Structure 1
Amino acid sequence: MFQPKEPEQSKQAPQTQESVNSTTRRVPLAQGDIQLSFAPLVEKTSPSVVNVYAARKIEQRQSPFAGDPFFEQFFGNRLGRRQPRVESSLGSGVIVDSAGLVVTNNHVIDGADQIKVALSDGREFESEVVLRDERSDLAVLRIETGEDLPALSFAESDQLLTGDLVLAIGNPFGVGQTITSGIVSAVARTRVGVSDFGFFIQTDAAINPGNSGGALIDMSGKLVGINTAIFSRSGGSNGIGFAIPANMVRAVVAQAKGGSDAFERPYIGADFEPVTPDIAESLGLQRPSGAIIVSVVEDGPADKAGLRVGDVLLSIGGNRIEHPDALGYRLATLSIDENAEVDVFSRGRLVTLKIRLEAPPANIPAERVVIEGRGPFSGAEISEPSQDIIRQLRIRGDVQGVIITDIARGSNAARAGFRPGDIILGVNGEETNTIEKASAVLSEDRRSWRFHINRNGRTIRQFLRY
C-alpha cells in the first residue's frame, strides 16, 4: 500500500555575514528566524555612535536701574551686569572616519561656544567644527584622540526599501546609549518641513530628543541615515521619525575632507514647482510627478542644456524625480562639473538631455536692516535681493524692491500682517528699491501709510492709519 512521505523539515544553513549582506530579502519562514538577535550587530556598530555636548553662553540683560545712585544706595552692586547664563544641549553623533570625523545635526551644535564629544567608553574630547550646513541640518566635527577610531561605513541609501529592518542608536533624554529597532516606513519622504532639505527616510524605530545626530543602520551594520527629527505632540516618540539619507551625509563628509567649511551644491540655474493634477492633465502627463520649470537663468546650466519654462523634469542621473524637494536632494548628491543625464517632458514628448552642473555663482552677503520706530513696518528685517535670500524664501520671478526677510514676534510688522518673502515695491509714493531708501522711508514717524507689496506674485495695495 502506498504511504505518502512525511514532509521533510526545512533545513536552513546557518546565517553568515555574507548572507546578511545579501540584497535578497525574505519573510521569516520559521519561529527560529524570529528569535534571532540583533546583539552581534549592536556590538559591532555601537562604538561608532557618540554623545555630543554643546554649551553656549547667554548674556543676561542688565537692570535698567544699574548705575543710578538713588537705587544703588538701596541695592548696592546687585543691579550691575549679571553673569552670563550657560545653556547646554545634548545630542548624538556618528564617527564616519577613523581619523576622528564625527557627523551630527547642525541644530545640536548651532551657536555653541564649546562642543565636547564623548565616546562609548566614556572618554571625552574637545571638538572643532569642520563644516556646517544649515539647509540639510548636518555638521561635521573633528576630534583628536591619537588613535584610530571605529567608524561606520556608508550604505547605498538609494537601495533601501520600505519594510527593511533598521536600528536607531543614540542617547535619548541623556539616559545613555540606547538601541531601538523598527522598519523603514517610507523612503524619499518629502514635504516634512523640519528643514530646508525636505527629503528623508521615515522609520518607526523609536527616536526621541537626544537621538538627533545618531545613527540609523541596516542589517549589515552600515549607516543608512542620520536621525534628525520626529513628529510628536508630546515631545516623545510616536513611531514617526526621520533620518537624512546616507548618500547626502556622504556628500557632506566628502567636502569636509576636501577642506570646505560650507557645503557647496551644484547649480542648475532654474526654479521648479510641483506638478499638480491639473498641470499634469493639461500637459498630457499620465500622473502628477516631476518638477515643472517656472524660470530659467540666462546662460545658466539649464539654459545651456536647452531646458525651457514649462518643461517637466522627470529624472536626473537615473533617479526619478517626484517633487522639487527630491530634485534638490539629487542635485546635492551630484558633483560640480558633472555631466548629468536628465529626462524631460517637453512640448508633448519625452526627451533626454545632458546638463553640465556648475558651481553656484559668487554671492556677496546682502546687508540686512531692522526697521525701528512706531510705524507698521517696525520690527521687520529687510534686505536687497540676493541669490541666497531668493532661494531661501522661494521667491519667484523678478524682484524690484527690498525683501522682508524676518519679522520680530509681537512687533508692529507682525500685527500689520507682513510676512517674510514680501517684496516692498513702494511706500507713500517713494521708491524702495535700495536698502538706504527703504530704511529711511519705513522708519518715518507718520500716521497715514500707503504701500504696495508683492506677495507670491500678487501685488497688494493697502492704506493704513497708524
Structure 2
Amino acid sequence: MMQTNNMTRHVSKLLLVSLVAVLALLAVVLSPLFTANAQETSFFGNEKRVPQSQAEVELSYAPLVKQVSPAVVNVYSKKVVRQNASPFANDPVFRQFFGTPRERVQNSLGSGVIVGDGVIVTNNHVVADADELLVVLSDRREYEAELILADERTDLAVLRIDTECEPLPTVEYGDTRDTEVGDIVLAIGNPFGVGQTVTTGIISATARTDVGVSDYSFFLQTDAAVNPGNSGGALVNTKGELVGINSAIFSRSGGSNGIGFAIPAEMVKRVVDAAVNEGRIVRPWLGLKAQSVTYDIAKAQGLSRPVGVMVTEVFDDGPADKAGLKRGDLITEIDGREVFDETGLKFLAATRSPGEISSLRILHGGKYEDVKVTLAPPPGATKAELELLEGRHPFSGAEVAELSPRLAEEMGRDPFASGVLVTRILRRAYAWRIVRPGDLIVSINDEPIKTLKDLDEALAEETSRWAIELDRNGRRISGTVTL
C-alpha cells in the first residue's frame, strides 16, 4: 500500500513538471505575437511609441506637396498712382504751367489657388484697385488675369486666366466641418516674394469670429508659419484638400508669430460658385438680430454651459418671421453646427444660397425644436436710387439714398436700420459743414426720416432753423443749424 502511494506522488510531480515545461514553451512561442498585438493596440490607440521600421522613420510630406503645390500660384498686381494730383490735373492750361503729375507704379504680391478651369481664388486685398493682374504658375508660365468678382466683405476675389485649352492642376475643396483642432495642415504660398514655400503646423482653433479682418469672420486659426505674401495661398489638409485660404496673421512685428487665419473652404466655394455661375454674390439672411448667450442667460434657460444666441429682434415678414421664430428664442445650432455669437450664425447662413433651406435647433419655452428656414436675400433693390439734394437747406450738395435691408447688407451696415444714407457730397458743397458720407439722417425738426419722401417733405418747409439728428458710425449726433 505504501509503495502504491509513493508511485502516485512521483507521477503527480512528473505531471506538474511537465505542465510547467509546456507553459514555459508556449510563453516563448507566443511572446512575439503578444508583443506585436501590444504594439498594434498602442498604435491604433494613439499612444506614443517609437518608429517600428525605417519606412516610418522616413515618412515625408513631399508626395502631398508635389500633388498640391502646382495649383498654388503667384498673383502680381500693378496700380498706377498719381503723386501730387490736383483737381485741375486734366486741364491743358494747368498742365502747360505746372506739367503733368508724376506717376509711379505700385506693385504688390500675393498668392492664389487654382480651383477650376482657369479659375483662381485669392484675397481681395491682394488685387484691390489693381490696374493690371498677372498670374505666374509654379512652372513659371505667366498669364494676364481678369477679375470676375471682388468681395470685400469676405476678403475674397476670383480671377480667370485663358490658358488656350491647356490643362491646369487644381485643388479639391475639403469639408471644413470635419476640420478639428489638432489636425495637421500645410500652408503653401509665396512669403516675402522669395518663391513658393511650404510650412506645416496644426489647426489651433476653429470658428474665430473676433478677428475683425472681414464682415464675415469665421476663421480657421493655424500655427503654420504664414507671412506677408502668403495671403491668398492654400491651407490644405493631409488629404491634399483645400480647407482654407490664408488671409491674415496676428503680428506685432510684421512677421509670423504662429497665429495665422484662413477663410474656411465652404465660404471660398460659395464665393467662387457665385462668381462663375452668376457673376455676383447675393447673400441670404435669416432676418433676425441676436446676442451671445452669457453664463447667466444659460443658467436661466437651464443650460449647463453658455451656447447659442438669443434672438433679440425679428424682421417682419423675413425668413425667421415666416418660420415662426420669436424674440427670446435661443438658437443653439444651424445645420447641425453649434453657434456662439451672431457673427458665426451669419457666416454659416451666408455659405448657402438664397432659396436653400437651413435647419435651426432652437430652445423655445424650455423645449428643443428643429425649425426649417427658407433663406432669402434681404428685401430692397440691389442698387440704390440716388438723389442729389439741392436748395437752401443744410444738406445742399449731398447725394443720398434710402436705406433698405439689402443696401445696408451690401454696405456692411445694420439691415434693421432705417433712414436716409448720405453716399456722397459734392466738392465745396454746404453739406460738408453738417454731414459726412456714411451718415444716416435720422430726423429733421423732430420729424423721423425713414424714406426719401420724408426727407423731401422736411426740406421743403420754409424755415431758417433746422434741428438735425444723425447716426454716425453708431453714434447719435444732434444739433441745430440756422441759415
- TM-score > 0.5, shorter chain as reference: yes
Q: What residue is the counterpart of 2:7 in the other structure?
A: none
1:187 deviates by 1.1
SS in 2 for 1:221: coil
Matched, 1:236 2:260: no
Q: 1:369 and 1:222, CA in 2 relative to 1: closer, same or farther beyond 3 A?
A: same
Residue 134 of structure 2 is aligned with which of 78, 102, 116? Answer: 116
Cα RMSD of the aligned pairs, angstroms, is 4.3
Instruction: Pick one of 344, 368, 373 that aligns with 1:355.
Output: 373
Alpha carbons of structure 1 residues 83 and 25: separation in structure 2 relative to 1, 3 Å: farther
Whichever structure has more helix as a proportion of its residues is 2
Higher-Rg member (1/2): 2
- The offset of 1:147, in angstroms, is 1.0
* Deviation, structure 1 residue 360: 4.1
Aligned partner of 1:366 in structure 2 is 384
**Does the CA contact (< 8 Å) of 2:377 and 2:406 recur in 1?**
no
Aligned equivalents of 2:256 and 2:404: distance in 1? 39
Name which of 224, 240, 250 aligns with 1:205. 224
Mapping of 1:359-398 within 5 angstroms?
Answer: 359-366=377-384, 383-391=401-409, 392-395=411-414, 397=416
Alignment of 1:1-400 (within 5 A): 8=35, 26=46, 29-31=49-51, 36-60=59-83, 61-62=85-86, 77=96, 79-97=98-116, 99-145=117-163, 146-257=165-276, 259-366=277-384, 383-391=401-409, 392-395=411-414, 397=416, 399=418
5+ residue gaps, structure 1: 14-18
SS of the residue corresponding to residue 327 of structure 1 reads: helix
Task: Give 1:153 deviation, angstroms.
Answer: 0.8
Q: Give deviations 1:135-169, integer Å, cap 9, x for gaps.
A: 21111111111211111111111111111111100
Check the 8 A contact 1:131/1:260 in 2, yes or no: no
Distance 1:77 1:195, change over 3 A: same
Question: CA contact under 8 A between 1:423 and 1:455: conserved in structure 2?
Answer: yes
What SS class does the counterpart of residue 139 from structure 1 fall into?
Answer: strand
Shift of 1:84: 3.7
Q: Tell me, yes or no, if the aligned pair for 2:89 and 2:101 is still in contact at 8 Å.
A: no
User: Take 1:369 and 1:209, find their aligned partners in 2: how far apart are those partners?
Assistant: 42
Identify if the C-alpha distance between structure 1 residues 378 and 38 changes in structure 2 by more than 3 Å, giving closer, same or farther.
farther
Q: Which moved more, 1:291-300 or 1:217-226?
A: 291-300
Letter of the 1:55 partner, please give it.
K
Q: Distance in 2 between matches of 1:221 and 1:290?
A: 33
* Conservation of the 8 A alpha-carbon contact between 1:365 and 1:386: no
- Whether the aligned pair in 2 keeps the contact of 1:382 and 1:404 (CA below 8 Å) is yes
Offset of residue 109 of structure 1:
1.1
In 2: Cα distance, 1:302 partner to 1:58 partner: 47
Question: TM-score normalised to the size of structure 1?
Answer: 0.79
Distance in 2, matches of 1:381 and 1:12, equals: 75
- 2:322 match: secondary structure: helix
Would the aligned equivalents of 1:402 and 1:424 in 2 still touch at CA under 8 Å?
A: yes
Q: Contact 2:67–2:240 (CA<8 Å) still a contact in 1?
A: yes
Offset of residue 405 of structure 1? 6.8
Structure 2 vs 1, CA of residues 317 and 177 (structure 1 numbering), >3 Å: closer, same or farther? same
Give the secondary-structure state (helix, strand or coil) at the position aligned to 2:269: helix
Deviations 1:113-134 (A, max 9, x none): 2111100011110111222222
Change (3 A) 1:193 1:84: same
Q: How many residues are matched?
A: 442
8 Å CA contact retained: 1:317, 1:342: yes
Q: Which amino acid aligns with 1:315?
A: E
SS of structure 1 residue aligned to 2:340: coil
User: How far apart in 2 are the matches of 1:414 and 1:243?
Assistant: 40
Q: How big is the shift at 1:178? A: 0.9
Aligned to 1:16: none
Alpha-carbon distance in 1 for matches of 2:257, 2:397: 38
| Alpha-carbon contact 1:154-1:222 (below 8 Å) kept | yes
2:315–2:416 CA contact under 8 A, matched in 1: no
**Can you list the C-alpha shifts for 1:4-46, whole angstroms capped at 9, x where unaligned?**
8688479999xxxxx9xxxx89465325756532222212211
Structure 2 unmatched ranges of 5 or more: 1-20
